[in-house]
Amino acid sequence: MNSNTLEINEELFTDEIDSTFNKVIDILRAENIFPDSVQKQMLYSHLKAMVIRSHTNEPLPEVEIEMFDEISKSSHKLAEDVVTWFPALAYEETYLLSVHFEVAKENELTEELGA
């Protein structure tokens, strides 16, 4: 193990990760946004990393905000709401998370429901 590497026992965070994921899915469902199975897997992975970062205070790499200009305000607002659950996380996390929501909005089921 590298002296600069901190080993994390992810099992310690399983309940919090699962709870966070389920809350996010409920919020998306209420907004008529339905991620497909692959999108759910990617979202779960991102939320898992967020939960762990919220405990370890690991910083995000630098985020170029202008890369997210095409993300809708509604997706970004949903991401802001979720990130506030974790006061230790950087605001830039909202931009990364909003991508998951924006992509899921494009799903056929979401469109059929008129969202």
CATH code: domain of residue 97? 1.10.1790.10
**Residue 4 falls inside a structural domain:** no
Q: Which structural domain range is residue 66 located in?
A: 11-112
Token output for 97:
């998370």
For the entire predicted model, the pTM comes to 0.86
- DSSP label at residue 10: G
**Residue 3 falls inside a structural domain:** no
- The percentage of the chain sitting over the pLDDT mark of 70, rounded to a whole number, equals 87
In the chain, how many domains are there? 1
Which pLDDT band, with edges at 50, 70 and 90, does 110 fall under?
A: low
How many helices and strands, by DSSP H and E, does the chain display? 5, 0
Determine the pLDDT at residue 6.
58
Using CA atoms, how far residue 73 sits from 70, 79, 104, in Å, is: 9, 10, 15
Phi/psi of residue 35, each to 5°?
-65, 145
